[in-house]
Amino acid sequence: MKTKLITTLLIAFSILNVVSQDLSGVWHGFTKNPDNKDILFVFLFEKTESGFVSTMAVPTFDVSGIKPKTTTFKNGKLSIDGSNVGMKYEGILNETTNLIEGNYTEGGVLLTLNLKKGNPKMAKLNRPQEPVKPYPYYEEDVVFKNTKANVTLAGTFTRPNKEGKYPVVVLISGSGRHDRDGSIPMHKPFLVLSDYLTRKGIAVLRFDDRGFGKSTGDFSKATTADFAQDVLSAVQYLKSRSDINPKKIGLIGHSEGGIVAPLAANQTKDISFIVALAATGIPGSEVAVMQSKSLSPFPVSNEVEFEQNVRKAIKIAASNEEIAKKRKELTIHNNSYLAPILKSLGATDENISTFIEKETESVLKPWNTYFYNYNPANEFEKLSIPVLSLNGSKDTQVNATMNQNAIRKALIKGGNKNYKIVELENLNHLFQECKTGNINEYKDIEQTISPIALKEISNWILEIIRIK
């Protein structure tokens, strides 16, 4: 994925006043999430010999380059099958209003989304930390392969201009599809982090997640273990370069990336150190339970009962039973506890049925079933290399105290003598200085990463590589 795509879409196509049956071009629309927050969607439809292809962007979340599986437009009906990326859109062209009136579905959530032809008006955002070219260092677009998975990964490598053999880090993104810049709600944290470290003399490799941006593969079928293999492929690529020091290769992972890092490091002797940013240290099933409560899209009257039902759903999904049996059990269970909650909120029977079906399929995806059974503490315990763990005190997605205690306990149990664990005050999940730490606050903060966090990361790495 390249975040410049949305800009290209907005510039490349002009607004047409007459829609008729012509789908080609840029369409956009606003919808509201369950918290009543506006979300902007932009679609680029291109006519081909066999029909249409589409590219989707969600500027609200700084996501672009999404390519749904199929797009059909016949007799005024638009159908976008994005099962490869977990979404679906269906709409009807209203020739009176010149709108495509329809619904967008993702992750069990159904949203009303009407599309208008033309470019949306975009407010200019102030992101003072994002670097502006020309950079005072060397930058190169690179491609490398994960031969085991037959996946080609595309990324960007940066290092100081002066020739030499540099220490290097691989940046590992968190859960969900991300480009090489780690783009998330109107910010590019990996671009900012990469720029900062490179200016400090540390080379950086960051890459698009498999099946996203310019990387190949099927993201929807990948697990945390698969992402670890992608990281190992990145390490192998770096070892082939003459401008890096193969004895000073480190991993920096954010969120899920922070638990991918130890999983990858324990499969090779090529990793010299790890930086875990907002990483979890407790079993994935426990993380899922906590987030189901703290990030629930709807209010829950009885939290104890709700948690018990969530735990039961996770237990079913994480079991070794045949998927058909799990699907049947989950459908029955989800109907028993979710349907009454949604009904009380005024949802229609049709919407409830759709939500439960999507929710059931979502928890049965390979990533979820692997994550529920994965305990990162087991991998942290095996590490003998230096580890830096940073978490923000106002992180509402990953509780700092609970998870850092688990990471610390695992490192001590494994006999690791070289680790540093720091809870950074007043920082959220993205390591921004914040007021509340809530997700909807991320995009409104000008700061991308706190200078305190950047300094903590770079100073620790520079000290570690001097020691080694």
Q: Residue 42 above 60 pLDDT? A: yes
pLDDT of residue 9: 41
User: Is 194 strand, coil or helix?
Assistant: helix
Q: How confident is the model at residue 11 (pLDDT cuts 50, 70, 90)?
A: very low
pLDDT of residue 420: 98
| CA–centroid distance for 433 within its chain | 21
Q: Which residue, among 278, 290, 291, has the nearest Cα to 422 in the 3D structure? A: 278
Q: Residue 300 above 50 pLDDT? A: yes
pLDDT of residue 344: 82
User: Is 277 strand, coil or helix?
Assistant: strand
- Tell me how far CA of residue 83 lies from CA of 106, 107, 124, 185, 223, in angstroms: 9, 11, 32, 23, 17
pLDDT of residue 297: 66
Say which CATH superfamily domain 5-117 falls into: Quinohemoprotein amine dehydrogenase alpha subunit, domain 2 (2.40.128.120)
pLDDT of residue 343: 83
Which CATH number applies to 138-283+374-467: 3.40.50.10210, 3.30.1240.10, 3.30.420.240, 3.40.50.1820?
3.40.50.1820
Q: Residue 218 above 50 pLDDT? A: yes
Q: Kindly report, residue by residue over 249-287, the tens digit of the pLDDT.
A: 999 999 999 999 999 999 999 999 999 999 999 999 999
More confident residue, 264 or 347: 264
pLDDT of residue 314: 95
Write out the H or E segment, with its range, that includes residue 225.
Answer: helix 224-239
List the structure tokens of 88: 């679906």
CATH 2.40.128.120 residue window(s) in the chain: 5-117
Pair 279, 410: CB distance under 8 Å = no
The amino acid present at 125, given as its one-letter code, is: L
Q: How are the residues of the chain apportioned to helix, strand and coil, as percentages rounded to the nearest 5?
A: 35, 30, 35
Arithmetic mean of pLDDT, 96-114: 89
Pair 373, 284: CB distance under 8 Å = yes
Give the lowest-confidence range in 31-40, 67-76, 209-218.
31-40
Exposed/middle/buried for 291, CB within 10 Å: 0-12, 13-18, 19+?
middle
| Distance (Å, whole) CA 8 – CA 119 | 11
Q: How confident is the model at residue 29 (pLDDT cuts 50, 70, 90)?
A: very high
Percent of the chain with pLDDT over 90: 70
pLDDT of residue 8: 43
pLDDT of residue 223: 97
CATH 3.40.50.1820 residue window(s) in the chain: 138-283+374-467
pTM: 0.79
Write out the H or E segment, with its range, that includes residue 189.
Answer: helix 189-199
pLDDT of residue 180: 96
pLDDT of residue 419: 98
Arithmetic mean of pLDDT, 144-171: 97
Pair 252, 169: CB distance under 8 Å = yes
pLDDT of residue 405: 98
- Tell me how far CA of residue 253 lies from CA of 9, 29, 120, 256, 276, in angstroms: 31, 34, 34, 7, 5
Q: Residue 17 above 50 pLDDT? A: no
* Beta-sheet strands, E only, within 192-301: 203-207, 244-254, 273-277
pLDDT of residue 35: 65
Farthest CA pair distance, the chain: 71
Q: Which residue, among 84, 74, 315, 88, has the nearest Cα to 220 in the 3D structure? A: 84
DSSP 24: -
Q: Kindly report, residue by residue over 229-249, the tens digit of the pLDDT.
A: 999 999 999 999 999 999 999
End-to-end CA distance of the chain: 36
Q: How confident is the model at residue 355 (pLDDT cuts 50, 70, 90)?
A: confident
Q: Residue 119 above 90 pLDDT? A: no
* Beta-sheet strands, E only, within 33-176: 38-48, 51-58, 63-66, 70-74, 77-82, 87-94, 99-106, 109-117, 138-146, 151-159, 166-172
Q: Residue 3 above 90 pLDDT? A: no
Q: How confident is the model at residue 15 (pLDDT cuts 50, 70, 90)?
A: very low
Percent of the chain with pLDDT over 70: 93
Give the lowest-confidence range in 244-253, 275-284, 347-356, 457-466.
347-356
Give the lowest-confidence range in 21-25, 92-96, 112-116.
21-25
More confident residue, 467 or 148: 148
Q: How confident is the model at residue 13 (pLDDT cuts 50, 70, 90)?
A: very low
Pair 461, 169: CB distance under 8 Å = yes
Q: Which residue, among 152, 130, 129, 155, has the nearest Cα to 141 in the 3D structure? A: 155
Exposed/middle/buried for 337, CB within 10 Å: 0-12, 13-18, 19+?
middle
